[in-house]
Amino acid sequence: MGSTHTESNGAGDHRVAGVGRRDLIKRSAALGLISVPTMSFLSACASSGGGGNGDKAKEGKKTAKNPLGVNDTAQMEFVLFDGGFGKEYAEDAVKIYEQNFPKADVKFSATQKIQSTLQPRFNQGTPPDLIDNSGAEQMDMGVLVGKEQLADLTPLLDAPSYDDPNKKVRDTLRPGIVEMGQFDGDPVWIMYYAYTVYGVWYSQKALDSLDEQYPETWDQMLAVCEKAKKKGMAGWTYAGKYPYYLPFSLYPMIGKVGGVEVLDSIDNLEPNAWKHPAVKACFDAYYELYKKGYVLKGTPGLDHIQSQTAWAQGKALFIPNGSWVENESAKVIPEDFDLAVSAPTGIDSSDKLPFGTIWASGGEPFIVPAKAKNTAGGMEQLRIMLSEASSKNFTSKVKSLTAYNGGTDGITLTPGLKSGVAALDKAGQNVVNPRLQDWYVQLQKEKIGVSCLGEMMAGRLTPAETIKKIQAFADEAAKDTSIKHYKHQ
């Protein structure tokens, strides 16, 4: 979901991205980067005309080149979130649609005001055919699904891929993307287009200057931080005002140390899930960074931009973040920085999963409304975007991977992107996807993040007190009948 919070000028909320089967509630999101400040609003609200469901476009003839049966004369309307990824990648994909269906009238627009512009049109039964439902004004996915306002994207997933008719679209996607668009069952309501790698980001140049490798065990981490401290550099910094960035490295570390089932039980709000020994081991490890003075002084008062800037200036070696950081911090990262990302450091050889276990997941949620006039057209536009050429175009323009599993051959990758691809290769099947931040936004951000992890890392709570407090918040959420609950199947 684009960088960070609504506090950051509509940057979207990267944090709210995850893979799995349930609710992607309120992802304030433009997975990837900070918002572009220009706003372009949709011209007329009901620009696709009145009439609602009755005016659905007639189905076109299904052929090898048109497997979804798009009506080649029907209008196709596409509304994009105008965020950190810009709109050029989408405009380029629209041109391909127009070449393939020259008689079709394509309406393309971009806005930061997704909800205020489009919610009235959903209510009137005149929504566009394809929407990038992202940014600070994202429409609530849970509500859209609950009210049956989204089309099931299974026909798109089962259609032949754009590049290879012998391969279905679903077989060209990165692990977890399909599941992430599901809620409680089989239909797939959302196609996440971007793909984010979360982990510990650093300057390879700075690490080399310490004559060190990235640490794989916690003892090695402490040794590297001690070396950095002696050279006047802090080991770590993070977004102190938004400590829900800490889980980008802390949660996959818990999964590495204790196994995926520990993360699943946390997501499921199971009693005593947070009391697992793996959680305590990881909290103790992070608390040690504070205790030993390895966290940059003043970090608890820094926001995401300030902490990233201090890190880019070489004041701290490591920062937990997502792959949008490369684009978001492009102006402050020195040219010779040699940006790199690693999976989190573990405790020791007793960890359940190997070093390399990482958190990666989809962002930029695209939806096709159930009452769209041209649902086949909306899905076809997505099919084009999930081609190798469109994926490469996106990656080369915005420094982010897409849901398409590949699309990097022949592109000169930026240092962070190259490192992210290498980290995914190293992880193999060991990619975890905590869902807490999708399913229980308030619990994850304000309660666990700000009230607990932020307080622990500032030295105001011990790990034991933090665990007790988080477990109480989780138990409270589990008993709260006003919120919908989800479980890993």
Instruction: State residue 318's pLDDT score.
Output: 98
Report d(CA 288, CA 457) in Å as an integer: 9
Same-domain check for residues 205 and 347 = yes
Per-residue pLDDT tens over the stretch 66-112: 999 999 999 999 999 988 788 999 999 999 999 999 999 999 999 99
Same-domain check for residues 310 and 345 = yes
Taking residues 142-169, what's their average pLDDT?
94
CATH (domain of 62): 3.40.190.10
Instruction: State residue 117's pLDDT score.
Output: 96
Least confident interval from 45-54, 76-85, 264-273: 45-54
More confident residue, 439 or 118: 118
Q: Is residue 13 part of a domain?
A: yes
Q: Is residue 421 part of a domain?
A: no
Same-domain check for residues 278 and 355 = yes
Q: Is residue 425 part of a domain?
A: no
Residues of the chain with pLDDT > 90, as a percent, come to 73
Confidence label for 135 from pLDDT (cuts 50, 70 and 90): confident
Least confident interval from 6-10, 165-169, 245-249: 6-10
What is the residue type of 82? D
Give the number of other Cβ atoms within 10 Å of residue 132's Cβ.
27
96 torsion bin: left (phi>0), alpha (psi -120 to 50), beta (else): alpha
Distances from the Cα of 489 to the Cα of 22, 273, 432, angstroms:
10, 17, 15
Domain that holds residue 257: 198-359+434-479
Same-domain check for residues 145 and 171 = yes
How many independent structural domains does the chain possess? 2
Same-domain check for residues 407 and 333 = no
Distances from the Cα of 386 to the Cα of 18, 184, 307, 412, angstroms:
19, 25, 35, 20
Confidence label for 450 from pLDDT (cuts 50, 70 and 90): very high
Instruction: State residue 1's pLDDT score.
Output: 38
Per-residue pLDDT tens over the stretch 299-340: 999 999 999 999 999 999 999 999 889 988 999 999 999 999
Same-domain check for residues 406 and 330 = no
Same-domain check for residues 412 and 462 = no
pLDDT of 49 over the 80 cut: no
Which two tokens mark 172? Answer: 């060209």
Q: Is residue 141 part of a domain?
A: yes
Q: Is residue 231 part of a domain?
A: yes
Report d(CA 244, CA 320) in Å as an integer: 10
- Which is it for the CA torsion 129, 134, 135, 137, positive or negative? positive
Mean predicted lDDT score pLDDT of the chain: 88
Q: Is residue 423 part of a domain?
A: no
Same-domain check for residues 237 and 312 = yes
Q: Is residue 427 part of a domain?
A: no
Q: Is residue 426 part of a domain?
A: no
Per-residue pLDDT tens over the stretch 196-242: 999 999 999 999 999 999 999 999 999 999 999 999 999 999 999 99
Report d(CA 47, CA 169) in Å as an integer: 31
Per-residue pLDDT tens over the stretch 405-434: 988 888 889 999 999 999 999 999 999 999
- What is the full DSSP assignment across 365-408? EEE-BTT-TTHHHHHHHHHHHTSHHHHHHHHHHHS-EESBS---
